[in-house]
Amino acid sequence: MASTPTNDDPVANPTYLGNISGFFTPGDIGCMSAQGIDLGSYDGVRHHATDIYEQTRAGNMPLGGTPWTAGRVQTFLNWINTGFPMGTTPVPAPSDADASTPGTTSEVRVRKNLAALSQPEIDMLKKAFSGIMALDPTDATSPVNPNSYFGLAALHGLPNAYCMHHVDTYNPWHRVYVKAFEDALRSIEGCSDVTLPYWDITTPVPAMVYEAPFANYTLPINIGDPNDYPAGYVTQRYDAPTIEANLLQAPSVPSDIADALPSPIWGSFQGGGFQQYIIEGHDDGHVSCGPTMSDQSVAAYDPIFWFFHCNWDRLWESWQVLAEATTVPGFTATLDGNTDWLPLALDPYPDTSVQTIVWPDISYDALAGDTKTAPARLAGHALAERAFRVAPTPRVSLRVKDIDRMNIPGTFVMQLMADGEPIARRAFFQPRAPQDCATCRKQSLISLDFRLDQDLITGRTLSVAIEVPSLGKDGANFSLAQAGNPTINVRLLLTED
C-alpha cells in the first residue's frame, strides 16, 4: 500500500488526518478501489479497519508493495483502539504526531463520588449548575450543542425527545450526552475544571441533591402539551428514604447491577448480557426517584438525572474493565449479535458508538465490581457446546413475554404478585407516545424479567398487573389485553462454565 515510513516509532494517539490518511498512496487507493474498498476516505478506512490491520500485520498488504513496518502497523492498531479519531489538520509526517500534539490529548477529567466532594468542589459545582440554568433556553453554540440547562435537558426529553433506550446505542449515546452536559458546566466562567460527579445508586442519596440548585428545576417555557408541562412546571422527586426503599424493591437495582457487571457478553435487551441487566436497573432506578424521573418527557430536567446518569456511565466503564472491553477489538469480542450499530452516528451528535468505546480523557475515582469474581453469564439458556451449572439454591427468571408497549402511554410498572400480594416489580422507561418514536417502533414487543429465588414463587398462585402512572387512578390496573396479552415464561437461571 505505501512506502516504508521514515520513522518506525509507533504513534500512541494517531488521528486519521494527522497520520492514517498518509499511509495510503494513490496507487494503493486505486488498487483497492477496484475491489470495492475506498482507502481514500475516512469512512472507507474505518469501515475496513480490522481487515486492513490483519492484512498489513500478516504482510499480505500492500499488494506488490513494501510491507508496513511493525511501527506503522502498531500505529494503525492504536488508531482503532482509540476510537478512530478524525483529527483536524494533517501533519507533514507520522513522526511529527505523538501524544503531545495539540488536539490529540487533553488533561484527563476525573469524575468523583458526589457524596465525597470537598466544600470547594461543591461550591464550584453549584456555581456551574446555577450558571447554565440561568442561560437563555435557546442558548446554543450549535443547533445540537446547547449550553443552557434547558437546551441540554430538551434533547433527552421534550421538545426534542431523542430516545435512545432499550437499544445497543443506549450506553454510547448517554456517554456522549453526559460529556456534553459536563462541557456546558465547564463553559461557565470560573468553572473550567469542574467535573460532573456521580451518585453511586447502591449507597444512600446524598443530602446535597435536596439543596439549591440541585433540588428542582422550573420549566421556563411550555414544552409539549401545556396541560402537562406548562411554563412554571417544577420537577418533582421523592424524599431520600422513599427513593432508597424503592431501589431495594425486588428485584432490586443493586441486584441488577451485581448481575450485570460479571457478564462476559454485551448482550441485548432480550439476551441476558450486560446490556440487558444494566438497562433493567436503569429503568427501575428512574421510577424509584419520583414522578419527574419516571417520565421520559421531562426526566432530564430533574437535576438528579445528571448524577444518576454519570453513575450509569461509570458502571459501563466498570463493566468494560471487568470484561476486558476497553479497546475496540476487546469490546467487539463481547458482542453476540448485530454489529451494524457500531459505526452509526449517535443522532444528533456526530460521534459514533465505536468512538465511545475508548474515552481516554475521562476517568472515575473508583469503579464498581469485583475484579476477583470470574466472569459469568447468568441466563435462562446456554450453548449446548458449553458446560453449565445450576446453583444449589437456584434463581429463576420469570419473564413476562411479548408485551406490546405501543398502546401503553408512557413509563409503566409490571407488578408480580403471589397469592394476591405484590412481591416484585419491574419498570419500563419509555415516552408517553411510543408509537410516535422511531426507536420504540423498532422494538414494539418487549419482555420484562423478574430474577428471583425459586423459593419465593414455588407453590404460590402468581399473577401480573400493569400500572401506568401517567394515567393516574385509571392506570392502577392497565388492561393486559391492551398490552397484547403477554405470556409467562419461567426458566432456571444457568451459569455457563
Q: What residue has cell string 428512574?
A: 286
- Tell me phi and psi for residue 45, to 5 degrees: -70, -40
For the chain, the distance separating the N- and C-terminal CA atoms, rounded to the nearest angstrom, is 44
Question: 434-448 burial string, b = 16+ CB within 10 Å, else e?
Answer: beebebbeeeeebbb
For residue 413, the tally of other CB atoms under 10 A from its CB is 20
3-state secondary structure of 409: coil
Nearest-Å Rg of the Cα atoms of the chain is 24
Interatomic CA distance for residues 473 and 332, integer angstroms: 46
Choose the CATH number for 380-496 among 1.10.3470, 3.40.50, 2.60.40, 2.30.320.
2.60.40
Pull the grid cell for residue 317.
Answer: 466503564
- Is there a common fold for 109-364 and 380-496? no
DSSP state of 446: E
407 within 8 A of 452, measured Cβ to Cβ: no
User: What is the DSSP track for 300-313?
Assistant: GGSTHHHHHHHHHH
In this prediction the pTM is 0.79
Distances (CA, A) of 483 to 408, 409, 469, 479, 489: 7, 11, 15, 7, 16
Residue 395's pLDDT is 85
Domain residue ranges in the chain: 20-96, 109-364, 380-496
Interatomic CA distance for residues 310 and 37, integer angstroms: 39
- Tell me phi and psi for residue 467, to 5 degrees: -115, 135
- Per-residue pLDDT tens, the chain, 497 aa: give them: 444 444 468 898 888 877 888 888 777 777 777 677 778 777 788 888 888 888 888 877 776 677 888 889 999 998 888 888 877 544 333 333 333 333 333 478 999 999 999 999 999 999 999 999 999 987 655 556 789 999 999 999 999 888 889 999 999 999 999 999 999 999 999 999 999 999 999 999 999 999 999 999 999 999 977 678 999 999 999 999 999 999 999 899 999 999 999 998 898 655 678 999 999 999 999 999 999 999 999 999 999 999 999 999 999 999 999 999 998 888 988 987 778 888 888 989 888 999 899 887 899 999 998 866 666 667 777 767 667 777 776 789 999 999 999 999 999 999 999 999 999 999 999 999 999 998 899 899 999 999 999 999 999 999 999 999 999 888 888 999 999 999 999 988 877 76
Residue 361's pLDDT is 85
Interatomic CA distance for residues 284 and 312, integer angstroms: 13
Interatomic CA distance for residues 489 and 476, integer angstroms: 24
Q: What residue has cell string 427468571?
A: 397
Choose the CATH number for 109-364 among 1.20.1600.10, 3.40.50.280, 2.170.120.30, 1.10.1280.10.
1.10.1280.10
174 within 8 A of 313, measured Cβ to Cβ: yes
Identity at 372, one-letter amino acid code: K
Interatomic CA distance for residues 43 and 405, integer angstroms: 36
**Which among 232, 212, 234, 208 has a CA at the least distance from the CA of 220?**
232
Residue 104's pLDDT is 34
Residue 99's pLDDT is 31
Interatomic CA distance for residues 440 and 446, integer angstroms: 10
For residue 285, the tally of other CB atoms under 10 A from its CB is 24
Q: What residue has cell string 447502591?
A: 202
Residue 103's pLDDT is 31
